[in-house]
Copies of this chain bind each other. A is one copy, B any other.
């Protein structure tokens, strides 16, 4: 493989001049630049990014570390949407994306440390999980740039992009109340998953406010917690139905859980859309297609990824922290209303 020296020799200039052409630096005569470019072409020269990284002390690679094990991650449509958002924005900025999903869930933190310490990467997008605080501390100490999806602590002020579903759930609940529903189930997200710390954005808050406005109280029998999966949603709805056979609507914190609830309802002889209204939790494209008539909470996961990527790139460029961002989930009423 030809190096910058080979090009320099052929073009009869110094290596530094070749480097200048490579990096589009201005102080090069047009005629010289042309000669250098011709030499590159003739030799089929391509710069070695690793050598440049070593000297520059940065790799132009962004890391994305996702805990929870690959089996879950690659089948979770929201994570894929976040990944897509991050990918698109960093790719277009000329960075590459190093994707790391610990095969075993328990390796998530050490994997993160490995990536960061070996500093192949210029920054990292990560999910807060239990135990991450120690790592964030190390990142801060080393002045290593990161953005978290959701917050790792309730008092985190900077460098996160989160989604707040409370307003969406409030609207969904109001909508259902207005339609005459009185026994409204809620399949909430787990208290300790992404945002394992932050109780304030539990869906229960929006749900409870809307009920309170209608002079109603939360009935514990109507509330369940799922684990974001189909199975979790299935079981949760089964439990709710057993306790509250009169349930006529259910709000789900995620689409897979909504699918589970739908199957549970149908297995129990209910006709979804007639006996039971299901509010899905993410409004994934697939959900819109499978169940076009159902209302939904719309989770801007893709935008979350985009903002996170953007924020990280700015962090890297400007070397300062940025205030965290909250994106509100929206309520999408059913088609034709």
Contacts and interface: CB of A to CB of B under 8 A. Distances in A.
Contact of A92 (B77, B103, B119, B230): B103
Interface string A60-83: 010000000011011101001101
B230 A286 contact: yes
A33 interface: no
B70 A87 contact: yes
Copy number in the complex reads 2
A87 B115 CA distance: 15
Interface in A83-112: 83-84, 87-88, 91-92, 96-103
Contacts of A83: 74
A228 interface: no
Contact of A98 (B97, B118, B286): B97
A120 B48 CA distance: 8
A153 interface: no
Interface of A: 1, 46-51, 53-54, 59, 61, 70-71, 73-75, 77, 80-81, 83-84, 87-88, 91-92, 96-103, 115, 117-120, 230, 256, 259-260, 263, 285-286, 289-290
A54 to B, nearest CB: 5
A332 to B, nearest CB: 18
Contacts of A71: 84
A289 B49 contact: no
Nearest to A77: B75
A87 B101 contact: yes
A120 B98 contact: no
Nearest to A46: B117
A1 B70 CA distance: 32
